[in-house]
A and B are shown apart, each in its own frame.
Chain A
Amino acid sequence: MTTIQLPSPGAISDTIEARPESDNYLTHTRGILSWIFTLDHKRIGVMYMWSVLGAFLLGGTFALLLRTELLTPGPTITDSADTYNQWFTLHGAIMVFLVIIPSIPAALGNIIMPIMLGAKDVAFPRLNLFSYYLWVTGAILCIVSLSMGGFDTGWTFYTPYSTTTTAGGVIPVLTAAFVLGFSSIFTGLNFIVTVHKLRPPGMTWFRMPLFLWSIYATAIIQVLATPVLGITLLLLIVERTVNIGIFNPSMGGDPVLYQHFFWFYSHPAVYIMILPAMGIISDIIAINSHRAIFGYRFIAFSSIAIAMFSFIVWGHHMFTSGQSALMNTLFSAISFSVAIPSAVKVFNWIATLYKGSVSLTTPMWYALAFLFLFTIGGLTGLHLATLSTDVHLHDTYFVVAHFHYVMMGSALIGMIGGLHHWWPKIFGRMYDQRLGTIACWIIFIGFNVTFFTQFILGSQGMPRRYYDYQPEFQIYHVISTIGSYIMAVGFTLTAITLFGSLVNGKKAPANPWGGRSLEWQCASPPPFDNFAKAPRVGDCYDFTVVHWDPKIGGYRVDESNDPEVNPAAQGTKAAH
């Protein structure tokens, strides 16, 4: 997908080393060991980031293989349906477990969250590093499983297929998902404790930027839901090795019970993916509209509400599994209600844009793309949550399109947007915004070409996870594949933009976008211990005190006008 080599962490510190005036977290200590054993949340986050992006490259390669195979009915680049099954399974498992779930909380969250909060680190730095190495172990196990014969179960591991398939790599990949689950649990645990206990004086709950609220809500889901995935996978491993029969209908077991187990985790897991992205979008939109976020408390509470609701809708994945009629009805009804807090957020974002003075920076373009794509993804979720339509749409490309709109179009776009938002902070370099925005547009167009087509395909009856298809579907498949190539171009351009900035980017100011939360008040890149001097915690959505300063080429927070600091300035706080 991209020809750019991912620079190793060592290489990055070398790049920035060239600026002797700075002593920041990248340069504070030297050598590869200082990275491998680091306890600094920022460095752990950076390692996560490279790893996740590497996994994304791998998963993306599989995606392109899949789409290419579907260019024609019958064999295109492989003549084995089994190989195709392995590809889509790998693509799904990598994207879900290795990329999207850790992407925002573990990578961006780790880097930004403690700074935003005004803390020196997360509560348990060693556990944090341990989480990262669990992630690495999980990634290695995925590769081991490939060498042992791969797996073709789909990322959902449905029984009894997953317990009876002859593919040799099922147990390693189950172990991988188990280990990755614990990586996610420990990240969540760490973040909950950090938010509860490490807030400095002044950082009250309702002063927290919305990104923190969303990360906090995500962490709750991670801690409460992921253990159930753990036990489910453990039972599958036991079932496959010693054949206990709990999920095996031929032994009196119950395969639908497996689905209850799996979706009790995996529906909340889709909110592990989307909530952090919503947090990023809230902050990008507020900062780039230079206007207080509309309905702060509503957005904050809707994060928690979504987290709680997400636990009681899992049955909407099982409408055609033989789940009882009563439960189908109940789950359908509750699923509709989840749309409410999601819609609350969308309306609040739009209300924030309204009358804001919007700067169309690259992160802002990503935020707008998110708004558009999430709306489509969320609304099609309602089609699927309707019992009668789902009987028709279940296991078709309509579902594939729905979850790509929410997982890729929203969660991943949110992640890339966040990357652009905090890139100057993380590496101290500005990227070329013109290129970045063009890349955003290419991705946006390619995405819609790829996946909107799949809504049509699905509603016409093309089932998902098929290697072959009827000739009348071909035109849609061809369009969809072309879309995926467009996206590949877009992501390559994004990579060129971002990595290029490390080589020849302008030095970034501390506050390039005009943010007011604490991370914009420490240097770019942040110093080793985050804040040389403890910052004062203000109202992070009051942008009246943030002013452009041409001398530093960035924004400056001038608190002398803030009535909280200087009561004499009461009147100057403009109509707002």
Chain B
Amino acid sequence: MSHQATHHAGSHAAEVHPEVGHVVPVKYLVGAGVALLFLTVITVAVRYIDLGEANLMLALAIAVVKATIVALIFMHLRWDRPFNLLVLIGSIVFVGIMLAFSAMDVHQNSPTIFNGNAPEAESVMQANAPGAPVAQIRSTNGGVGSSD
């Protein structure tokens, strides 16, 4: 078993060592916590700077870094069996597949979808209330296929 209590930190020589699992040194844990708090501050600050599209990318990049820290240190993956890491990455990849294919579809066909202003939605909806006369829709949207 590869990861029996082999201890790297040295400074904890007096400590009890469990038969299984890995004891993460305090300095790693606290360091990870501090880094996470720091990155949170950064990501909030970046929001107020206008970088266009890059804002989203940057915010997500920071989130990925934070998630990696949590996974590797707090969740012990750095010392754990590689297969557990594979399980984590695998699940993310499959979310990615679902996202990529659905997003590709939406990207392709959104120009052909109605996406305009609702024509006086409230009045239409009220006209739809039970017992009301048949609803009227006044079409004010740009119409289908206005994508060019």
Q: Do chains A and B touch in the complex (CB under 8 A)?
A: yes
Contact residues in A for B98 (Cβ distance below 8 Å)? 228, 260, 264
Q: In whole Å, how far is B13's beta carbon from the nearest beta carbon of chain A? A: 32
Asked if A65 is at the interface (CB within 8 A of a chain B CB), the reply is: no
Cβ contacts B93-121/A at 8 Å (1 or 0 each): 01001100110111011000000000000
Contact residues in B for A330 (Cβ distance below 8 Å)? 101, 104
Once A and B bind, how many residue pairs between them come within 8 Å at the CB atom? 39
Contact residues in A for B102 (Cβ distance below 8 Å)? 257, 260, 264
Asked if A315 is at the interface (CB within 8 A of a chain B CB), the reply is: yes
Contact residues in B for A552 (Cβ distance below 8 Å)? none
Q: Tell me what chain A mostly uses at the interface: helix, strand, loop, or mixed.
A: helix
Contact residues in A for B101 (Cβ distance below 8 Å)? 260, 312, 314-315, 327, 330
Asked if B90 is at the interface (CB within 8 A of a chain A CB), the reply is: yes
Q: Is A324 a contact of B90 with CB atoms below 8 Å? A: no
Asked if A2 is at the interface (CB within 8 A of a chain B CB), the reply is: no
Q: Is B108 a contact of A327 with CB atoms below 8 Å? A: yes
Contact residues in A for B106 (Cβ distance below 8 Å)? 254, 257
Asked if A216 is at the interface (CB within 8 A of a chain B CB), the reply is: no
In angstroms, Cα B97 to Cα A16, docked, is: 51
Contact residues in B for A314 (Cβ distance below 8 Å)? 101
Contact residues in A for B97 (Cβ distance below 8 Å)? 311-312
Contact residues in B for A260 (Cβ distance below 8 Å)? 98, 101-102, 105
Q: Is B94 a contact of A323 with CB atoms below 8 Å? A: no
In angstroms, Cα B102 to Cα A315, docked, is: 9
Q: In whole Å, how far is B129's beta carbon from the nearest beta carbon of chain A? A: 14
A224 in complex: contacting residue of B83, B91, B105, CB < 8 Å: B91
Contact residues in B for A312 (Cβ distance below 8 Å)? 97, 101
Chain B: how many interface residues by the 8 Å CB criterion?
Answer: 13
Q: Tell me what chain B mostly uses at the interface: helix, strand, loop, or mixed.
A: helix
Asked if A533 is at the interface (CB within 8 A of a chain B CB), the reply is: no
Q: Is B91 a contact of A324 with CB atoms below 8 Å? A: no
Nearest chain A residue, comparing its CB with the CB of B83: A196
In angstroms, Cα B77 to Cα A439, docked, is: 54
Contact residues in B for A224 (Cβ distance below 8 Å)? 90-91, 94
Q: In whole Å, how far is A218's beta carbon from the nearest beta carbon of chain B? A: 16
A323-B109, A324-B109 are known contacts. Are A311 and B94 too (CB-CB below 8 A)? yes
A224-B91, A257-B102 are known contacts. Are A326 and B108 too (CB-CB below 8 A)? yes
In angstroms, Cα B135 to Cα A207, docked, is: 68
Asked if A322 is at the interface (CB within 8 A of a chain B CB), the reply is: yes
Cβ contacts B105-146/A at 8 Å (1 or 0 each): 110110000000000000000000000000000000000000
Q: Is B94 a contact of A322 with CB atoms below 8 Å? A: no
A228-B98, A327-B104 are known contacts. Are A322 and B91 too (CB-CB below 8 A)? no
Interface centre among A311, A324, A325 (most CB of B within 10 A): A324
Contact residues in B for A324 (Cβ distance below 8 Å)? 104-105, 108-109
Interface centre among B97, B105, B108, B109 (most CB of A within 10 A): B105
Contact residues in B for A254 (Cβ distance below 8 Å)? 106
Cβ contacts B12-25/A at 8 Å (1 or 0 each): 00000000000000
Q: Which residues of chain B from 16 to 43 have a CB within 8 Å of any chain A CB?
A: none
Nearest chain B residue, comparing its CB with the CB of A268: B94
Contact residues in A for B91 (Cβ distance below 8 Å)? 224
Contact residues in A for B105 (Cβ distance below 8 Å)? 256, 260, 315, 323-324, 326-327
In angstroms, Cα B100 to Cα A314, docked, is: 13
Contact residues in B for A264 (Cβ distance below 8 Å)? 98, 102
In angstroms, Cα B83 to Cα A228, docked, is: 22
Q: Which residues of chain B from 27 to 78 have a CB within 8 Å of any chain A CB?
A: none
5 sample A-B contacts, Cβ–Cβ < 8 Å, listed by A number: A254-B106, A257-B102, A264-B102, A315-B101, A327-B101
Closest 5 CB pairs of A and B: A324-B108, A324-B109, A327-B105, A260-B102, A326-B108
